Chain A
Amino acid sequence: MKSNCALAFAMICVAVQADTNQFAMPLRGVTLPATDFKLVNHIPRERLARLPRELPVYRYTGRACEFPVAALQVLLDQSPFAGTNITDLLPSGTNQTTATHGIRLVSQDRLDYFIVSPGEGRIMMNRSERGRGIPPPDAVPDFEIIQERLLRLARTFGISTNEMERQPDGVLFIRKREGGGAKLGGVIQYKSSREVEIRRAIPDYPFNSVGDDKISLRYGVNDRLQKFELTWQGIEPVRTNRLLGISEIMDGIKKGRVLSDVMNEYPAGGIAEVELRDIEIEYYVPFSPSSASALPTADIYPIASILAVFKSKTGETEEAGLYAPILDRR
């Protein structure tokens, strides 16, 4: 494998004088703090060969989601507003199988709510635990049970596994989280919740979650549903574009069309050389810096996410991430 990689290295060494950079990824990428560096490509050829030649650009449809009334009723029955008939909340004459009208039930102290917002593709149910007792050590359903319920709910809401985020080995990326507490200096310890969450990915490109879209289910003590959240507005491809080749991407980097990951660190001696080592494609949704959440009207488009190594003149190195445009809009 090592020898294959060595053979596959494409060595491109060029001096770079970057120009104006107006490629922006708020809260993800910042301007590279160097303009004059040697750019070297050591991305294995087979990695480059695996990149698709073209990819679609997506956009949120903005159309109201149609939520099955029966599924909403199931959630409502487990919410603090149990006993409410979902059809009583919908305008008369509404299609009895799907709801495209918003529903908003909020307790007086605003800690419990059941919100359906078809326009945003969003359902939020929350129950706040107000009990005064000390919970038993672990009376919360297991992750497996919650996961099964979540997948069933996802199917009911028309979400297929093709749209769900996966791990690099192809397995669904199911995020499991446990909550708990301790009292009396740890004498009493208990589990208070278990949550399972699945985030959305672009069909056919499932290794990166998109924006904040997700479906999650959290249960508390004695199988009480604490929280359900669905954010899954419809998306659709709006066009398909050719992807730039590595030489075009490198040309772009030379011209300053590159951003440095906000989590990067830099060699104290500055950046004399940038060595490209790996590349992946990520679908990116522009962020609103103020609310720190995805902009619903923006394009969801592929970008190149590049593993690089910054090297200083004195030999210091830092592993880093770079982002570069990969879409050719011609």
Chain B
Amino acid sequence: MSSVGVFVDGQKVHSRDSENFSVWINTTEWPNGQHEIYAVITTVDTGETITDDDTIATNNVIQGIGVSGSVLANFENYISQFFVAVPYFDPSQGQTQEITAVFAEDSYWRVTVVDYQDVAVRWFEGQGSSCYAAWDGNDQSGWPLPYGYYDYIIEARPSQYGPLSLTGGGGGAAMKSATSSSESGVAPAAPAADYKRTGAAMQFSRTNSGVRENLRIPSLNPAKPPLDETSLRLTAEEDEAQFPSSAEEALLAGLTSYFVKGPPMPPERILTNGVWETVPWEVVHGPHPPIEIQIPEATQEKFLQKLTGMLLGESAEASQENSAQQADWGDAVYMTWTPLRFPGQLFMGFAGTVGIGFQGHHPNGNHFASPAGGVISGDTPPYGPLVNSATIANWFSINMGLGGWRTSFYLGNDNLRPTNILYDASRVGKFASSCDFGLYVGHMTAARNNSYLGATHAWLPLYNSDISTATYTWIALPRFDLGQIGRPDTLKWMALYGCHSLRRQDFNDMWTKFLLPMPPNMRLLLGSEDGVFMHPVFGSRFAANMHGWTTTNGVPMTIVNAWYDAARAADTATAKSWKWKSRMGTRTMTAVYRDTTQGGSWKTIQDSIWGYSNDISYDWFDVSIDYLQVYP
């Protein structure tokens, strides 16, 4: 494994798993002046190793660290020190996002908050040599905006040239459209009620305000030039090192000229031992001498003035300001946007909440009676520990959290109680009311014959080791509380990662008898036709898929595709194990969704956690099942 970190002035600004990549920084996030950029590669060799003395086989992790040479870049921007204060903020908790920046001179400024469609939703204006805005997550009329990714655009115009126009700069168009939509009356949106944007929405292409640097890590990938050229190159480099290579360097050294490398010379053809060879020009003529450049007197004079100012004790800021003034910023609207440097992030609020329940502590052995009607898996009833159920749940929670989805509850083993799942008129189900996305991981099976409900369906055998007379509580899927008509339930998507949790024939039976738990709040019910494998890869992959971390284009998968793909990944990984490789069979996953044959324009099978429409059909006829074989 290896990672490469890119640092600016010692602060890590990017980290990548790849060796060849391009990254962007927004230079307006730093003060003007010279900055040091370098890269650090870290390698971890986890393969087996043999010690140098060749006697003891060890398996110690070998860590390697390489640091590139520094690239010194001079940042000179009208807007500098662009800063967005917190990684993310949650207005429902009274938090605000603060945005600040410094200008080269007194300016009229505007901070505009734009949504993912570049529509300005809030703006702040003022005059001064710096700006400050504290955004509370509301639009210009004071209505709360939907949670999501927002960008911050700063525009500034030197005040000596007049105020900013309403439509000035690149943000003008967006400002105009915001004004018109505001006038037409934008309806207030409840936080997270209709959040419709993707993680990929933050992939703004407007990052051209930074400098692009190609960083090499010579210490790790040393070039190996031919021997005869190496010595020449070293000589030339040594020569260059003796002379100043820029006007600033020369003036600081008290000189009035500096040297630059000569232009590349064409190769020469020479006859060696009767054979014509093409060799570098330097092999024939020796090192190409650097070219001396005289520094103009005006530049020397400016430098002296600056030096005098510094000696007289002017502050660094004043000196910087003078420097900026010398840069002679003309009449323009200077802009910056899209902070990339930590902690500046673009997310406001949280995207949604997940509720997770899992069990893996079932005892070995067939100690408990099956429910009336029996279960289909008579030979392998849902007993015994599931060592990976907690791992699956944990990785799912971690990865959802990394994408802005908070875990509102996480109930494992004995903490998951029948009351959290089972419908009871006197209380509200935990999954139904406390999350947008529910995931259960653990044992499940299906009814062999009609249960007491008069249908076949999935069973969830909930185990509680606290009870001295330990037994299973068999919970029938139709009895799950996933929401009720007339209740403001939040649950939209429920995933049941257990064996036979949603078979097609059970769907048909439950649908026909109106027993399928698809209340109006529910958009998707995910399950499995067959047994599932509790492979730890499932949880992280499912969440990563939904965030778009596994797709080339960064577009999140639909929830259903993420479900299918994660199951496929888990099955493919399981098939590599000795225990299961010859017993895999075929595996099919299922999803109940709302189709559009009776109305609406959006099939909920197209939902992603980042994008969905509420123009859906609530007609029972549109409650349909989709299935996909995922293995082999």
Q: Verify that A and B bind, or say they do not.
A: yes
Which residues of chain A have C-beta atoms less than 8 A from B57's C-beta? 248, 251-252, 255, 257
| B627 with A179: CB separation less than 8 A | yes
| B1 with A291: CB separation less than 8 A | no
Contact of B541 among A104, A181, A261, A292 (CB under 8 A): A292
Query: Using a CB-CB cutoff of 8 Å, which residues 202-216 of chain A contact chain B?
Result: 208-209, 212
Answer whether A134 and B597 are a contact pair too, CB < 8 Å, given A23-B46, A113-B555, A251-B57: yes
Contact of A62 among B18, B391, B625 (CB under 8 A): B18
Which residues of chain B have C-beta atoms less than 8 A from A295's C-beta? 1, 17
A-B contact count (CB 8 A): 205
A85 CB within 8 Å of chain B: no
A288 CB within 8 Å of chain B: yes
Interface locus among B134-142, B304-312, B414-422, B544-552: B544-552
| B2 with A297: CB separation less than 8 A | yes
Nearest CB on A from B440, distance (A): 20
| A263 with B611: CB separation less than 8 A | no
| B384 with A117: CB separation less than 8 A | no
| B17 with A297: CB separation less than 8 A | yes
A186 CB within 8 Å of chain B: yes
| A330 with B50: CB separation less than 8 A | yes
Alpha-carbon separation in the docked complex, A252 to B511 (Å) = 57
| A106 with B553: CB separation less than 8 A | yes
| A22 with B549: CB separation less than 8 A | no
| B20 with A62: CB separation less than 8 A | yes
| B552 with A178: CB separation less than 8 A | no
Per-position binary interface string of chain A over residues 259-289, scored 1 when its CB falls under 8 Å from any chain B CB and 0 otherwise: 0011111001000000000100010001111
Q: Residue of A at shortest CB range from B599?
A: A132
Per-position binary interface string of chain A over residues 12-46, scored 1 when its CB falls under 8 Å from any chain B CB and 0 otherwise: 00000000111110011000000000000000000
Which residues of chain B have C-beta atoms less than 8 A from A257's C-beta? 48, 57, 59
Interface locus among B350-358, B430-438, B531-539: B531-539
A180 CB within 8 Å of chain B: yes
Which residues of chain A have C-beta atoms less than 8 A from B391's C-beta? 262
A307 CB within 8 Å of chain B: yes
A141 CB within 8 Å of chain B: no
| A21 with B580: CB separation less than 8 A | no
Alpha-carbon separation in the docked complex, A327 to B59 (Å) = 11
| B17 with A115: CB separation less than 8 A | no
A88 CB within 8 Å of chain B: no
| A329 with B606: CB separation less than 8 A | no
Which residues of chain A have C-beta atoms less than 8 A from B576's C-beta? 28, 208, 282, 305
| A261 with B577: CB separation less than 8 A | yes
Nearest CB on A from B608, distance (A): 8
| A289 with B17: CB separation less than 8 A | no
Q: Residue of B at shortest CB range from A330?
A: B50
Q: Which of A20, A261, A268 has the most CB of B within 10 A?
A: A261
| B552 with A182: CB separation less than 8 A | no
A193 CB within 8 Å of chain B: yes
Per-position binary interface string of chain A over residues 230-260, scored 1 when its CB falls under 8 Å from any chain B CB and 0 otherwise: 0000000000000000001001100111000
A177 CB within 8 Å of chain B: yes
Answer whether A291 and B387 are a contact pair too, CB < 8 Å, given A180-B627, A263-B577, A268-B364: no
Which residues of chain A have C-beta atoms less than 8 A from B508's C-beta? 182, 185-186
Interface locus among B492-500, B518-526, B566-574: B566-574
| A117 with B550: CB separation less than 8 A | no
Which residues of chain A have C-beta atoms less than 8 A from B552's C-beta? 115, 117, 120, 122, 124
Alpha-carbon separation in the docked complex, A115 to B60 (Å) = 41
Q: Which of B540, B544, B553, B624 has the most CB of A within 10 A?
A: B553
| A181 with B624: CB separation less than 8 A | yes
Q: Residue of A at shortest CB range from B548?
A: A110
Alpha-carbon separation in the docked complex, A98 to B345 (Å) = 39
Which residues of chain A have C-beta atoms less than 8 A from B325's C-beta? none
Which residues of chain B have C-beta atoms less than 8 A from A199's C-beta? 572
Nearest CB on B from A180, distance (A): 6
Contact of A192 among B399, B580, B626 (CB under 8 A): B626
Q: Residue of B at shortest CB range from A181?
A: B626
Alpha-carbon separation in the docked complex, A270 to B399 (Å) = 33
B595 CB within 8 Å of chain A: yes
| A209 with B572: CB separation less than 8 A | yes
Which residues of chain B have C-beta atoms less than 8 A from A181's C-beta? 624-627
B621 CB within 8 Å of chain A: yes
Which residues of chain B have C-beta atoms less than 8 A from A10's C-beta? none
Nearest CB on B from A110, distance (A): 5
B234 CB within 8 Å of chain A: no
| A179 with B628: CB separation less than 8 A | yes
Q: Residue of A at shortest CB range from B21?
A: A119
| A329 with B50: CB separation less than 8 A | yes
Q: Residue of B at shortest CB range from A208?
A: B576
Alpha-carbon separation in the docked complex, A286 to B16 (Å) = 16
Which residues of chain A have C-beta atoms less than 8 A from B611's C-beta? 109-110
* Sampled A-B contacts (21; CB under 8 Å): A21-B59, A106-B555, A110-B200, A111-B558, A115-B553, A119-B20, A128-B558, A177-B632, A178-B629, A179-B629, A182-B508, A209-B572, A263-B579, A264-B577, A265-B384, A278-B578, A282-B576, A286-B1, A290-B540, A291-B540, A291-B544
Chain B residues packing against A (C-beta within 8 Å): 1-2, 17-20, 46-50, 54, 57, 59-61, 198, 200, 364, 384-385, 387-388, 391, 395, 398-399, 402, 504-505, 507-509, 511-512, 533-537, 540-541, 544, 549-553, 555, 558, 566, 569, 572-574, 576-580, 595-597, 603, 606, 611, 621-622, 624-632
Closest 4 CB pairs of A and B: A186-B508, A325-B48, A292-B541, A185-B512
Given known contacts A180-B627, A262-B577, A291-B550, what 11 new A-B pairs fall within 8 Å (CB)? A106-B553, A132-B597, A179-B627, A180-B626, A183-B622, A199-B572, A265-B579, A282-B576, A293-B550, A297-B19, A320-B578
